[in-house]
Amino acid sequence: MQQVNWTDLQKILQQSRFSPEIEKKVRMIIDRVKEKGDEALFACTELFDGARIRKLRVSEKEIRASRRYFKGEIKTALQQARLRIEVYHRNQIPSKFVQKEKDCRIEFCWAPLDVVGIYVPSSQAPLVSSVLMTVVPAKVAGCQRIVVCTPPGRDGKVNPYLLSCLDWLGIKDIFKVGGAQAVAAMALGTESIPQVDKVVGPGSVYVNTAKKLLFGETGVDTLAGPSELVIFSDESGVPAVIAADLAAQMEHVGGTGILLTTCESLGRKVELLVRDGYWLLVKNEEQALNIINQLAPEHLQILCWNPSVFIPRAVAGVIFVGEATPTVIGDYFAGPSHVLPTQQAARHSSGVSVYTFLRSYAVIRASKDFLKKWGNTVKKMALLEGLTAHARSIEIRLTSGGKKWEERQKYTGKQKKQR
């Protein structure tokens, strides 16, 4: 590890987070997918993944062949993890809120997104954990169709462990495409890949850049990746434990590990145990908290005598407290999704949850009495803004509601009583 001061660390992180060159490349990929659809995806897959394919959809034959990998200890571990993740997310399902007044009823409702696209990276290994952490919340939310894109290996095949996990979860729409081109395909739609309402999942800087550029064409979850871990520890920290946790997150390509400590000797010991990453010596917990909140890290581990100083005030994607709670527990098993905001996005967005796959909307039912009581108030506000047509929309109802309107109001009232 390298000891740095706060000013230098800010410069280092800023350089890694913004790249005009990468944005230019991603724009070119998006334009190519928009123009040529599947043909562009075939070309990108050969160029970036070294795989020459002519069909994007994973075949039923490939899915059947993968099932022999879903067995034994692997099957048991995935089943146990799925159960925890499912229970946690079922507890998030919101109920409809109803505000009842004498002459007005307002409902705040939730509904699942119809079609969601999930990106599962696999450049290093079969990330079955990312499958669970995205697909399970989507299914709990009630999404009707889940489309998954994941890059193939050089043999043109999806990793069989990844494929068998997707099959086990009931996913049928699986496509062999990765990177920025996968995000573009799901956001825009191609001949083979349907356009989705939202793109969800972790990925490289290219995937995140594509999400940023395509927001508006589709919804996106958050900027999730590469991995980030900040650890705060006082003199009570165990150097070998801290080093192991930092190394675990930096095992991901492009991962960043940062130690903040009030104990210089602890920092020196950890520095000898970890090859990469950075550490900062801070004066006290308040200074550490200030730096943490400016970093807004994906993962925050608190290893100190008094963690309560940090828990209600720290800005992070997820907070892990104590030696028995390494970040790896959250990566695989605890329950909350490990798809979390990075690149300081935790300041304004949250990790993947059931809410990621839901949309909210309101239903308003006002009576004529409500309009009589408040119509002129609304009209005055409209006129204040110079929107005369808005004011007329109210005025016409106050002056000439008409017989048909009266009849419809009575009919609606009867329906309510019947219900």
- Catalytically annotated residues: 298-299
Rounded to whole angstroms, the Cα distance separating 132 from 332 reads 9
List the beta bridge partners of residue 117.
147, 199
Structure-block tokens of residue 182: 């996968």
Rounded to whole angstroms, the Cα distance separating 139 from 145 reads 9
Provide the terminal-to-terminal Cα distance of the chain, rounded to the nearest Å. 67
Structure-block tokens of residue 290: 């200030």
Contact 25, 179 (CB under 8 A): no
* Dihedral of alpha carbons 147, 151, 156, 157, sign: negative
Dihedral angle of Cα 302, 305, 308, 314, to the nearest 10 degrees? -30
Residue 242 has φ and ψ, to the nearest 5°, of -60, -45
Please choose, from the candidates 98, 102, 101, 80, the residue with its C-alpha nearest in 3D space to the C-alpha of residue 332. Answer: 80
Distance of CA 133 to the CA centre of its chain: 10
Dihedral angle of Cα 124, 324, 335, 157, to the nearest 10 degrees? 10
Query: How far lies 38's CA from each of 25, 153, 158, 178, 238, in Å?
Result: 19, 18, 18, 13, 52
Structure-block tokens of residue 111: 């509904």
User: CB-hemisphere CA count at 13 Å for 131?
Assistant: 25
Cα-only R_g, the chain: 26
Q: What pairing do the DSSP bridges indicate for beta strands 358-366 and 104-112?
A: antiparallel
**At residue 189, what is the residue type?**
G
Output b/e per residue, 314-349; b: 16+ Cβ within 10 A: bbbbbbbeeeebbbbebbbebbbbbbbbbbbbbeeb
Helix (H, G, I), strand (E, B) or coil at 267: helix
Residue 418 has φ and ψ, to the nearest 5°, of -65, -35
Burial class of 286 by CB neighbour count within 10 A (0 to 12, 13 to 18, 19+)? exposed
